[in-house]
Chains A and B, each alone.
Chain A
Amino acid sequence: MIRSQVLICGGTGCTSSGSKKIQEAFAKSIDDFKLNDEIKLVQTGCFGLCALGPVVIVYPDGTFYSQVKPEDVPEIVEEHLLKGRVVERLVYNETSTPIEELTGGVSLNDTDFYKAQHRVALRNCGVIDPENIDEYIAVDGYAALGKALTEMTPEQVIEEVKKSGLRGRGGGGFPTGLKWSFCAPNKADQKYVVCNADEGDPGAFMDRSVLEGDPHCIVEAMTICGYAIGATKGFVYVRAEYPIAVARLQKAIDQAREYGLLGKNIFDSGFDFDLEIRLGAGAFVCGEETALMASIEGKRGEPKPRPPFPAVKGLFDKPTVENNVETFANIPQILLKGADWFASMGTERSKGTKVFALGGKIKHTGLVEVPMGTTLREIIYDIGGGIPNGKKFKAAQTGGPSGGCIPASLIDTEIDYDNLTAIGCMMGSGGLIVMDEDTCMVDIAKFFLDFTVDESCGKCTPCRVGTKRLLELLDKITSGKGEPEDLDRLEDLCYYIKANSACGLGQTAPNPVLATLKFFRNEYEAHVNEKKCPAGVCKDLLTYTIDKDKCIGCGLCSRNCPVSTIIKSDYTAPGHKLPSYEIIPDKCIKCGACMTNCKFKAISKK
């Protein structure tokens, strides 16, 4: 009889920090202690706390071990699994409750990181074995599909989704039920359901985690959608760069077919549905729905002008509904628990929860799911653990290359679709990159623009040429050649690109520039007028200097200087034996090697 289960994260984050080895070590150690009949090992999807991987959780107590190494495993098995003593040195203890007040060690749910979260889309990630359909069924999996097919009409399904207030989680925020209802009445010999898993934003990995941790829920939701709109065929378009997600999804599809949850006459309702995976080759523009459909058709991934909308003429010119992974992940819960339950979470016009991929200058890099309307402050400080090294919070970038930034002054903004749009930002798919005082906002804008320039498909001129010119202007500013008029030119060009591009990529590409210009114009002005980078990032605007009174003349900087531009000066500081060094600025390439090597903190940049 199994009395305890050991869950090991098999998400991409933990896999790359060595969770496979941990799993092998557990298997061996459990064998060594002859606990095979009592302890079960389960590989799960992402727990969300990726920065602390590999993550291991021991149930029933829910003890949360982080950064486990293979050599720790025998100790955990002997002490915890055999003798019941929690290995405290490995327990992740970020809780506001002191450890001695917690019975049975620190449980996952006690940690500050999880306490403030509300998991709907991620409810099964890190809880079930994603490669086992029975475990999914045990946690009410496929019950929503059963309910839809046996008790509800397609109209009722659409009505329920409409009533829940669910909006597209891919970034646009279009009401999902409405999208389905546009497609349902269209008559055609074939309709399609498409799941957009082409998660291309730098720093975003919500969809990957859902596919890796709970692939069956996407299979179930797409089948429900097929029933609602009258489609019998679905495609999941997922990036080839997500090998684990692809493998698990394929396994889920195979298992569902075996159980008759995909295929002909599901639940004896006369409804047929089947799914196929299509791999994307990693073009950002293929996340745009019409380009994605072109790519599934085997054509070059280029967007099409609308109308006709996909609901009328989409994939292979047939009526199509396309939704994002996270949107689909909410569907089974909405049908099971009801639209009212879902609508009770969130704000007036944004219902439910949102998953964010927390990254950048934050203590707990990882995945969090919070109700809509949670403030940025709660996400960053209460859940994310704040900014490391005592630095100050400067801004958070949302929505990736299509989004904007939320400055520190607006940290108490309640995050939902409309509030973010109101401050010139965008929800986006959920990437949330935290920036501290050492980040240069002009440099950030340049980073994202560099990305969009690479990823522009080239079909329309405003996007292809416009973004390139925009990047050149930013290059000019960060290299110290900017003129005051450049800021206005920048702004004009941004609005031009936004107004004239054919698809979402171009229409949103200038957002990072516009948002930083709006909230951090002073930084742009410092670059242009004073030729200074206040955050000390833009190389061409920096000067390295040696504080001659702090320099003891060891010469380490001079020996490490790749261009030999640091020489002995004729000044010896009082109390020092050797003359100090100085940097000849005209030859300096600003590599920073001297500063890294100085043990006396005598070198500074500004």
Chain B
Amino acid sequence: MKSLAELQAIKDRMKDKVVLREGTGDMRVVVGMATCGIAAGARPVLNALVEEVNKAGLSEKVTVSQTGCIGICQFEPVVEVFEAGKEKVTYVKMTAEKAKEVVEKHLKGGRVIAEYTLKDENL
């Protein structure tokens, strides 16, 4: 080890691997992973979210986690975004592509993608 830069390089390379354990970030993204969710294709959605969040360098800010059945099985895969001080956003009928968009626009850009969210008229 000859310089602080070398140390920092290792730290940056490893950061994503330990940041999961540092507890919740400001934002919590939860994917419904019950039988209904998995059957509707929640796993690729979850994996896409984890991957994109890391790629976008948001892993310290955003925690991606899974949960059981949310209760709206006909809309699965469901992804919910919790942010302190803001109302919960529920995305429905998600796909890996939509998930990428959510990371880019919502988690990074702060703009909710209204067309993917659950609307009252659907219920």
Q: Do A and B bind each other?
A: yes
CA distance A137 to B9 in the complex (A): 10
What chain A residues lie within 8 Å of B51 (beta carbons)?
1
**Distance in Å from the Cβ of B33 to the closest Cβ of chain A?**
3
Give the contacts of A1-40 with B (CB-CB under 8 A).
1-5, 7, 38, 40
Contact A84 B7 (CB under 8 A): no
**Distance in Å from the Cβ of B5 to the closest Cβ of chain A?**
10
What chain B residues lie within 8 Å of A142 (beta carbons)?
1, 7
Complex: chain A residue closest to B52, CB-CB: A1
Contact A7 B21 (CB under 8 A): yes
Among the listed B3, B14, B32, which residue makes an inter-chain contact with A268, where contact means beta carbons less than 8 Å apart? B3
Contact A146 B4 (CB under 8 A): yes
A-B pair number, CB within 8 angstroms: 105
Among the listed A4, A104, A109, which residue makes an inter-chain contact with B20, where contact means beta carbons less than 8 Å apart? A4
Tell me if A267 counts as interface (CB < 8 A to partner B).
yes
CA distance A140 to B12 in the complex (A): 10
CA distance A39 to B10 in the complex (A): 22
CA distance A150 to B3 in the complex (A): 9
CA distance A85 to B35 in the complex (A): 10
Contact A134 B50 (CB under 8 A): no
Contact B2 A59 (CB under 8 A): no
Give the contacts of A465-497 with B (CB-CB under 8 A).
none
Contact A260 B23 (CB under 8 A): no
Tell me if B63 counts as interface (CB < 8 A to partner A).
yes
Among the listed B11, B35, B68, which residue makes an inter-chain contact with A138, where contact means beta carbons less than 8 Å apart? B11
Give the contacts of A142-161 with B (CB-CB under 8 A).
142-143, 146, 150
**Distance in Å from the Cβ of A142 to the closest Cβ of chain B?**
6
CA distance A3 to B14 in the complex (A): 15
Among the listed A2, A40, A84, A107, which residue makes an inter-chain contact with B31, where contact means beta carbons less than 8 Å apart? A84
**Quick one: which of A1, A150, A260 has the most chain B CB within 10 A?**
A1
Contact B68 A260 (CB under 8 A): no
Tell me if B74 counts as interface (CB < 8 A to partner A).
no
Tell me if B123 counts as interface (CB < 8 A to partner A).
no
**Distance in Å from the Cβ of A341 to the closest Cβ of chain B?**
19
Complex: chain A residue closest to B35, CB-CB: A83
CA distance A86 to B33 in the complex (A): 11
CA distance A580 to B42 in the complex (A): 72
What chain A residues lie within 8 Å of B32 (beta carbons)?
84
CA distance A137 to B4 in the complex (A): 11
**Distance in Å from the Cβ of A314 to the closest Cβ of chain B?**
29
Contact A267 B65 (CB under 8 A): no
Contact B14 A138 (CB under 8 A): yes
Among the listed B1, B11, B46, B63, which residue makes an inter-chain contact with A140, where contact means beta carbons less than 8 Å apart? B11
CA distance A600 to B21 in the complex (A): 53
Given contacts A1-B54, A83-B38, A146-B4, contact A59 B64 (CB under 8 A): no
Complex: chain A residue closest to B1, CB-CB: A260
CA distance A60 to B49 in the complex (A): 14
Interface size of B as a range: 35 or more
Contact A38 B47 (CB under 8 A): yes
Tell me if A135 counts as interface (CB < 8 A to partner B).
yes
What chain B residues lie within 8 Å of A85 (beta carbons)?
33-34, 68
Contact A127 B21 (CB under 8 A): yes
Given contacts A3-B46, A62-B23, A109-B23, contact A84 B14 (CB under 8 A): no
What chain B residues lie within 8 Å of A329 (beta carbons)?
none
What chain A residues lie within 8 Å of B23 (beta carbons)?
62, 107, 109
Given contacts A1-B54, A82-B33, A138-B15, contact A104 B67 (CB under 8 A): yes
Contact A60 B64 (CB under 8 A): yes
Number of A interface residues in the complex (CB < 8 A): 40
Complex: chain B residue closest to A150, CB-CB: B4
CA distance A83 to B30 in the complex (A): 12
CA distance A259 to B65 in the complex (A): 34
What chain A residues lie within 8 Å of B66 (beta carbons)?
3-4, 83-84
**Distance in Å from the Cβ of B113 to the closest Cβ of chain A?**
22
Given contacts A60-B20, A267-B3, contact A134 B14 (CB under 8 A): yes
What chain B residues lie within 8 Å of A259 (beta carbons)?
1
Tell me if A61 counts as interface (CB < 8 A to partner B).
yes
What chain B residues lie within 8 Å of A84 (beta carbons)?
31-34, 37, 65-68
B 17-51 to A, binary, CB cutoff 8 A, 1 in contact else 0: 11011011000101111110110000000110011
Tell me if A122 counts as interface (CB < 8 A to partner B).
no
* B contact set with A: CB distance below 8 Å: 1-4, 7, 10-11, 13-15, 17-18, 20-21, 23-24, 28, 30-35, 37-38, 46-47, 50-51, 54, 63-68, 82
* A contact set with B: CB distance below 8 Å: 1-5, 7, 38, 40, 59-62, 82-86, 103-104, 107, 109, 127-128, 134-135, 137-140, 142-143, 146, 150, 259-261, 265-268
Closest 4 CB pairs of A and B: A84-B66, A84-B33, A138-B14, A3-B50
Q: Sample 19 A-B pairs with CB under 8 A, ordered by A number.
A: A3-B50, A38-B47, A59-B20, A62-B23, A82-B38, A84-B33, A85-B68, A103-B28, A107-B23, A128-B18, A134-B13, A137-B10, A137-B11, A140-B11, A143-B7, A143-B11, A146-B7, A261-B1, A265-B2
Contacts A5-B20, A59-B20, A146-B1 supplied; 16 other A-B pairs, CB < 8 Å: A1-B50, A3-B46, A60-B20, A60-B65, A84-B32, A84-B34, A84-B65, A107-B23, A109-B23, A134-B14, A134-B17, A137-B11, A138-B10, A139-B18, A261-B1, A266-B1
